[in-house]
Chains A and B, each alone.
Chain A
Amino acid sequence: EAGVAQSPRYKIIEKRQSVAFWCNPISGHATLYWYQQILGQGPKLLIQFQNNGVVDDSQLPKDRFSAERLKGVDSTLKIQPAKLEDSAVYLCASSSSRAQGSPLHFGNGTRLTVT
């Protein structure tokens, strides 16, 4: 079974620029998550999709961050404009359902550096 695919692996941008990350979840997984992980901290949930609908985006900074999952498969996360504090690893994860025991499977993440 192929895992969660993310690209790019690394990205360096200047503040106020825009950036986009892409995620392809495990085939058949209905639930997709974007997490932000700042160095030395645990992952923080940004947004959660169920198929192509948003079920939780309460911690997404909506003035600069946006995400979509138009066809219920791939997803993109965009930051515009970026700030220095956005430097982090952006992890995409998927699970087969929102059932309580269903584990999340993570991609390798995109490491973003904002200078």
Chain B
Amino acid sequence: GQNIDQPTEMTATEGAIVQINCTYQTSGFNGLFWYQQHAGEAPTFLSYNVLDGLEEKGRFSSFLSRSKGYSYLLLKELQMKDSASYLCAVRRGGATNKLIFGTGTLLAVQP
């Protein structure tokens, strides 16, 4: 089976730092993705982790601990345009290598 958990909503202040957590349980783990989705738009790729540790990409960083089934997305120097839903997705290995999404975390950035 597969289970991905994220907080439903978060609020943060412009210029601050926010951490969005994701925990997962899956068989055949083969990587974890973070996507950003603005209302009414398509999800866009942010980051990918397959090994333990931190991946940094500008204002966004993503961390993975495979042993704990845990990841987080860190957003620094928040801007109003960062208000969006953030989707954690786990790639399940095997013949299909399918990508399973969590329900997403709706982040509201306030002035």
Instruction: Find out whether the CB atom of B104 lies under 8 angstroms from the CB atom of A42.
Output: yes
Please, which residues of chain A bring their CB within 8 A of the CB of B45? 103-105
State whether A91 touches B42 (Cβ < 8 A): yes
Asked if residues B103 and A108 are in contact (CB atoms below 8 Å), the reply is: no
Q: Contact: A100 with B97, CB < 8 Å?
A: yes
**Closest chain A residue to B30, Cβ basis:** A100
Q: Are A108 and B91 in contact (CB under 8 A)?
A: no
Give the total of B residues in contact with A, Cβ under 8 Å.
Answer: 25
Smallest Cβ-Cβ distance to B29: which chain A residue: A100
Residues of A in contact with B, size category: 20 to 34
Q: B87 within 8 Å of A by Cβ?
A: yes
Indicate if the CB atoms of A106 and B42 lie closer than 8 Å: yes
Asked if A14 lies at the interface with its beta carbon under 8 angstroms from chain B, I say: no
B42: contacting residue among A44, A45, A103, A108, CB under 8 A? A108
A25 at the B interface (CB under 8 A): no
12 A-B residue pairs with CB within 8 Å: A4-B42, A35-B101, A42-B87, A42-B89, A42-B102, A42-B104, A43-B43, A43-B87, A56-B98, A101-B48, A106-B43, A106-B44
Interface residue ranges, B against A (CB under 8 Å): 4, 30-31, 33, 41-45, 48, 50, 87, 89, 91, 93, 95-104
